[in-house]
Amino acid sequence: MNKERLMKMAGAVRTGGKGTMRRKKKAVHKTVTTDDKRLQGTLKRVGVNTIPAIEEVNIFKDDLVIQFLNPKVQASIAANTWVVSGSPQTKKLQDVLPGIINQLVTTSRRTTMDVYF
């Protein structure tokens, strides 16, 4: 690099005139990891337990369904706290409804069979 180019670059980061201090480089904070660590610490304090073998979680909101496939589900019944972690997909109710009805019909048949037989 030549001297003129270096002087031009140095002048670009100066906040005032000649003889003033250069600006300090702002540190980029990684808030996502600290927020996640803080959340996990709070959940541990509340006493959540992981619930295994949950394949799907559906959250209904208006005409939309927020669907989590293979989520990590944690719960603390005493604290009335449920945590669903994973990648969500937002779908219309009409798209998801046939699969949900099949699950409900199968569950109701099982309970009916248990009651009568």
Residue 117 has pLDDT above 60, yes or no: no
Residue 115 counted as domain residue: yes
Quick check: is 16 in a domain?
no
pLDDT tens sequence across 20-50: 777 777 777 766 677 888 888 999 999 999 9
Q: List residues bridging with 46 in a β-sheet.
A: none
Specify the CATH number for the domain of residue 103: 2.20.70.30
Using one digit for the tens of pLDDT, what is the confidence trace for 96-113?
A: 888 888 777 766 666 655
Q: Is residue 56 part of a domain?
A: yes
Residue 110 lies in a domain: yes
Within-domain flag for 30: no
| 10 assigned to some structural domain | no
What does the alpha-carbon distance between residue 16 and residue 2 come to, in Å, rounded to a whole number?
Answer: 24
Percent of the chain with pLDDT over 70: 80
Question: Domain range holding 53?
Answer: 48-117
Q: What is the pTM of this model?
A: 0.58
pLDDT reported for residue 44: 92
Residue 94 lies in a domain: yes
DSSP the chain: --HHHHHHHHHHTBSSSTTSPBPPPPPPP-HHHHHHHHHHHHHHHHT-EEE----EEEEEETTEEEEEES-EEEEETTTTEEEEES-EEEEEHHHHHHHHHHHHHHHHHHHHHHHH-
Number of domains in the chain: 1
The verdict on residue 13 lying in a domain is: no
CA 3 to chain centre: 50
